[in-house]
């Protein structure tokens, strides 16, 4: 499976993502934001970081960068596009995903392990995933997902909510919500479920000695579903 990771000025999880993808057998290439086209890919990843210094709004400048038109065309033609953290913020600013990531409710930068519940498995990312609750890592200042009531209803009606913050036992409530996101939302899909944006970093959970391996499950699952 061929993948491309887009590097924006200020991206800082691009190398981690490259390491993770290659570890599980993706043929990965790095693509600079000023390039016009993307090499033939089965998956495009927008990595975490602080693209363009988070100027104006997180992800807003990146969403107008030169490479983005190719990403949008790829997504609209059904290609898999994964946005992690700042990548999620970029995807909402392009309009590929609904809503926006606002500043965390308690104004703090959060850097910790969290549990997320997989809410939908009828898609190429989570289909046949053996676990329902994953332990992943978050590190963000703007992860407080917000959208209008109408948009929330349509996300729920179409099963577009991908993952939600929860406890180790899967309980979703205010105490297991780190940043104030509505409905504990940690990640969502577009309507066709080929575009996934989420705040947690699976690429930081790929080593059983350093972190945990729930991120490994995620990447292996994408590969398994592609075969």
Partner 1 sequence: MKIKVIVTLKNGVLDPQGKAIQQTLNGMNFGNVEDVRQGKYFEIEVKEKDEKKAKSLVDDMCKKLLANLVIEDYKIV
The torsion region of residue 117 among left (phi > 0), alpha (psi -120 to 50) and beta comes to beta
Q: Is 174 a catalytic residue?
A: no
Separation of alpha carbons 206 and 190, rounded Å:
26
With CB under 8 A as the rule, give the number of residues binding partner 1.
20
Q: Nearest Cα to 86, choosing from 52, 59, 125?
A: 59
Of the residues 11, 28, 41, 60, which one makes contact with partner 1 according to CB under 8 A: 60
Torsion of CA 137, 222, 118, 178, to 10 degrees: 20
Of the residues 19, 56, 111, 171, which one makes contact with partner 1 according to CB under 8 A: 56
What is the CB neighbour count within 10 angstroms for residue 153? 11
Question: Which residues on adjacent β-strands are paired with residue 186?
Answer: none
Contacts with partner 1 in 101-130 (CB under 8 A)?
Answer: 102-107
Instruction: Compute the least distance from the CB of residue 160 to partner 1, in Å.
Output: 16
Q: Please list, in sequence order, all residues whose beta carbon lies within 8 angstroms of the beta carbon of residue 154, skipping any fewer than 6 positions away.
A: 98, 160
Q: How many residues are recorded in the chain?
A: 227
Q: Please list, in sequence order, all residues whose beta carbon lies within 8 angstroms of the beta carbon of residue 133, skipping any fewer than 6 positions away.
A: 115, 116, 117, 118, 166, 168, 169, 170
Nearer to partner 1, 94 or 123 (CB): 94
Q: Is 142 a catalytic residue?
A: no
Nearer to partner 1, 109 or 226 (CB): 109
Question: Which residues on adjacent β-strands are paired with residue 195?
Answer: 81
What is the CB neighbour count within 10 angstroms for residue 141? 17
Structure tokens at 160: 């577009």
What is the CB neighbour count within 10 angstroms for residue 212? 18
Candidate segments 19-27, 96-104, 161-169, 189-197, binder of partner 1 by CB under 8 A = 96-104
Active site residue: 85, 142, 166, 172, which one? 85
Contacts with partner 1 in 138-177 (CB under 8 A)?
Answer: 144, 146-148
Instruction: Compute the least distance from the CB of residue 89 to partner 1, in Å.
Output: 11
Instruction: Compute the least distance from the CB of residue 42 to partner 1, in Å.
Output: 30
Question: Which residues on adjacent β-strands are paired with residue 165?
Answer: 116
Contacts with partner 1 in 182-221 (CB under 8 A)?
Answer: none
Nearer to partner 1, 104 or 160 (CB): 104
Q: Is 203 a catalytic residue?
A: yes
Active site residue: 93, 142, 172, 203, which one? 203
Of the residues 99, 143, 178, 215, which one makes contact with partner 1 according to CB under 8 A: 99
Instruction: Compute the least distance from the CB of residue 103 to partner 1, in Å.
Output: 6
Residues at the contact surface with partner 1, assessed by CB under 8 A: 56-57, 60, 64, 92-93, 98-100, 102-107, 144, 146-148, 180
Q: Which residues are catalytic?
A: 85, 201, 203
């Amino acid at each position: 499976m061929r993948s491309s990771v887009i590097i924006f000025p200020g991206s800082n999880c691009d190398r981690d993502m490259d390491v993770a993808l290659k570890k599980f057998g993706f043929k990965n290439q790095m693509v600079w934001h000023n390039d016009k086209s993307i090499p033939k890919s089965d998956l495009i990843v927008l990595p975490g970081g602080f693209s363009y210094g988070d100027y104006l709004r997180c992800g807003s400048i990146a969403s107008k960068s030169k490479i983005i038109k190719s990403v949008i065309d790829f997504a609209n033609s059904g290609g898999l596009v994964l946005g992690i953290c700042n990548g999620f913020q970029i995807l909402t600013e392009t309009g590929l995903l609904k809503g926006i990531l606002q500043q965390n409710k308690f104004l703090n930068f959060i850097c910790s392990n969290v549990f997320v519940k997989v809410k939908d498995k009828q898609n190429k990312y989570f289909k046949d995933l053996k676990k329902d609750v994953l332990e992943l890592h978050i590190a963000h200042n703007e992860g407080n997902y917000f959208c209008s009531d109408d948009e929330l209803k349509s996300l729920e009606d179409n099963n577009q909510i991908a993952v939600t913050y929860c406890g180790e036992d899967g309980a979703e409530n205010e105490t297991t919500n780190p940043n104030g996101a509505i409905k504990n939302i940690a990640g969502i899909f577009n309507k066709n479920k080929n575009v996934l944006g989420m705040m947690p970093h699976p690429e930081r959970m790929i080593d059983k000695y350093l972190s945990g391996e729930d991120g490994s499950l995620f990447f292996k699952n994408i590969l398994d579903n592609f075969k």
